[in-house]
Amino acid sequence: MLIDGFGRTVDYLRVSVTERCNFRCQYCMPEKPFSWVPKENLLSYEDLFKFIKVSIDEGIKKVRITGGEPLLREGLDIFIKMVFDYKNDIDLALTTNGFLLAKAAQKLKDAGLKRINISLDSLDSSTVAKMAQKDVLSNVLEGIKAADEVGLKIKINCVPLKGINDKDIIEVLEFCRAKGYVVRFIEFMENHHAKDGVKGLNSDELKAIISKKYPNFKMIPRDTSSPAQYYEFEDGYQFGIIEPHKDDFCAACNRIRLTSEGYLIPCLYFEDAMSIKDAVQNNRIDEAVEILKKVLQNKPEKNKWSTTGDNETSSRAFYQTGG
């Protein structure tokens, strides 16, 4: 079992397979970075897999593939199959913007992927085009449909921004309810890479919008394996809110992140990281485990986003850490 310095059990590994992306979301990567990590600096799937294997042996029960946009990296289905074949009862999931999903869904499912979280900020194509800075809605909707048809369990992620897609929250919620997808609204996490002036809605503002149309939803006990707080309508439909600005959000933190270059990142907010690249490339797996344990020992207690509205801003790029 993996335990961090604050006694939290860590059983969730998020693996970013690329920092590259085909969208330019205002809240994440509004402009193409000055340079991408050169391809030769990436860890190969074989090396990423060596680390995933040993992490599973040490107690990881949930592996999520993310990015950047993970579907941009070729051979993702083969990588997923490696993990599935090693331990087929692992919670194996992917987070994607959905643009390339229509073609990939069947292969991903066949490889052993169980769940997929897809970003959908609005159902209005011009709003989506404004947020992603590209006209993408129809491809994303086709991707969602394909994932559903092949039997992947779907969650939708939506980041509501003031004056942009806050008008669309109910429509996104009703779309997900009609389709039977769980939707999570995510509080925008302030970071230096986002577009200047972008402002997110906080959990109270979101709940106020939803309760105008649906006054009767109740909070349900927090499942600590997920970052979301879930709420339930009278008909049993559940939606979530991811509230990183809440004081106790990090108390249940159970995760660690690995970047495509082989950096282990203990917390989404902070810059700290240690590389396992040299250790795995040279098959010094015991050393990689030592690094993992050291990173966990130094995992911060909590982020510095605050509830006051007077937020500190993280310098971490979400597209590098995998969100």
Ligand X SMILES: Nc1nc2c(ncn2[C@@H]2O[C@H](COP(=O)(O)OP(=O)(O)OP(=O)(O)O)[C@@H](O)[C@H]2O)c(=O)[nH]1
Ligand Y SMILES: C[S@@+](CC[C@H](N)C(=O)[O-])C[C@H]1O[C@@H](n2cnc3c(N)ncnc32)[C@H](O)[C@@H]1O
The site for ligand SF4 (CB under 6 A) is made up of: 21, 23-25, 28-29, 67-69, 97, 119, 244, 249-250, 253, 267-269, 300, 302-303, 318-319
Name the residue nearer to ligand SF4 (CB basis): 82 or 317: 317
- Angle made by CA atoms 216, 217, 223, in degrees to the nearest 5: 165
| Contact mark string toward ligand X, 247..266, x via CB under 6 A | ------x-x-----------
Q: Which of 11, 182, 184 is nearest to 90 (CA)?
A: 11
Contacts of residue 10, Cβ cutoff 8 Å, sequence gap at least 6: 2, 3, 4, 59, 60, 253, 254, 255, 256, 296, 299
Selected from 10, 15, 17, 28, the binder of ligand Y by CB under 6 A is 28
Q: Which of 90, 68, 78 is nearest to 44 (CA)?
A: 78
At closest approach, how far in Å is the CB of 107 from ligand X? 20
Binding-site residues from annotation for S-adenosyl-L-methionine: 27, 68, 119, 189
Contacts of residue 218, Cβ cutoff 8 Å, sequence gap at least 6: 231, 232
Neighbours of 292 (CB within 10 A): 24
- Which option in ligand SF4, ligand Y, ligand X, none does residue 226 bind, with CB closer than 5 to 8 A by kind? ligand X
Token pair belonging to 247: 């004081």
Name the residue nearer to ligand Y (CB basis): 50 or 200: 200
Binding-site residues from annotation for GTP: 14, 64, 95, 155, 255-257
Name the residue nearer to ligand Y (CB basis): 152 or 288: 152
Going along the chain, which residue ranges are E strands?
A: 12-16, 62-66, 91-96, 115-119, 153-158, 182-186, 217-219, 228-233, 238-242, 255-258, 263-265, 274-275
Interface with ligand Y by CB under 6 A: which range of 3-11, 65-73, 144-152, 171-179? 65-73
Q: How far is CA 53 from CA 32, 45, 58, in A?
A: 33, 12, 9
Q: Which residue has the tokens 């559903």?
A: 148
Binding-site residues from annotation: 14, 21, 25, 27-28, 64, 68, 95, 119, 155, 189, 250, 253, 255-257, 267
95 binds ligand Y (CB under 6 A): yes
Question: Contact, 47 vs 79, CB < 8 A?
Answer: no
Question: Contact, 16 vs 29, CB < 8 A?
Answer: no
Positions in 281-310 near ligand X (CB under 6 A)? 303
Interface with ligand Y by CB under 6 A: which range of 76-84, 201-209, 248-256, 314-322? 314-322
Specify the length of the chain in residues: 323
Positions in the binding site for ligand Y (CB under 6 A): 21, 27-28, 66-67, 69, 95-97, 119, 157, 159, 186, 188-189, 191, 194, 318-319, 322-323
Positions in the binding site for ligand X (CB under 6 A): 64, 66, 93, 95, 117, 155, 157, 186, 189, 226-227, 242, 244, 253, 255, 268, 303, 323
